[in-house]
Structure 1
Amino acid sequence: MRQPCTYILTNRGNQLFYIGVTSDIAARMMHHRAGEGSVHCRRYNIRKLVHVEFHATMPDAIARERALKEWHRDWKRRLVDEQNPDWNDLFDTILG
């Protein structure tokens, strides 16, 4: 699925977050799952996709990514709770 989006990954204990932006969430997740993501994700095993927001344009997605990165941890947790209350891994859902 090629569409600009922002996404949030977490680790198994839902304690650490990674916020990213991409135009191809499926391909980007394959990189993360293969250990080819950021150093932060590899170091802390952050691979669980818990939040995705699709945007009309890449500049919109980048602006949202920057805003989310400034958020406090509690705000990020609340965002995920609202959209994905069970903190399920959305990877398979995204791939269809």
Structure 2
Amino acid sequence: MDTHYVYILTNKSHTVLYVGRSKQLKQRLIQHKNNSTSTFTGKYNVHKLVYFETTKYVNNSIKRERQIKKWKREWKINLINGLNPDWKDLSEYI
């Protein structure tokens, strides 16, 4: 079974939240950090991993990503706070 990730990135001031998904999260985080300013994450310096969850199936990760993207900001913040109340960069755990 493969592992698929759904994740949330933020910037230093926590004003921007970005929801994504990937099969290879470590490589995807590197891509985000190396993005040019023409991309959303590059333009707003959204590189800090503050939340992630895993699923076994790609369809579940797609469904979950879409679900979280539709959420109000407050709900996303509550999700992050439940796992990572200090909003530490979790990329070292990947």
- Is 1:20–2:20 an aligned residue pair? yes
2: CA distance between counterparts of 1:75 and 1:47? 20
> How many residues in Structure 1 have an aligned counterpart in Structure 2?
93
Task: Tell me by how many angstroms 1:56 deviates.
Answer: 1.0
* TM-score between both structures, scaled by the size of structure 1: 0.91
Amino acid at match of 1:67: Q
> Which 4+ runs in 1 deviate beyond 6 A?
none
* TM-score between both structures, scaled by the size of structure 2: 0.93
1:24-71, Cα deviation, whole Å (9 max, x unpaired): 001101101112698111110000000001001010000000000000
Amino acid at match of 2:10: T
1: CA distance between counterparts of 2:82 and 2:58? 24
- 1:1-96 pair list within 5 angstroms: 3-35=3-35, 39-94=39-94
Identity %: 35
Once superposed, what is the RMSD of the aligned Cα atoms? 1.6
SS in 2 for 1:49: strand
Going from structure 1 to structure 2, the CA distance change for 1:37 and 1:29 (only over 3 Å counts) comes to farther
Q: Unaligned regions of 5+ residues in structure 1, if any?
A: none
Q: Unaligned regions of 5+ residues in structure 2, if any?
A: none
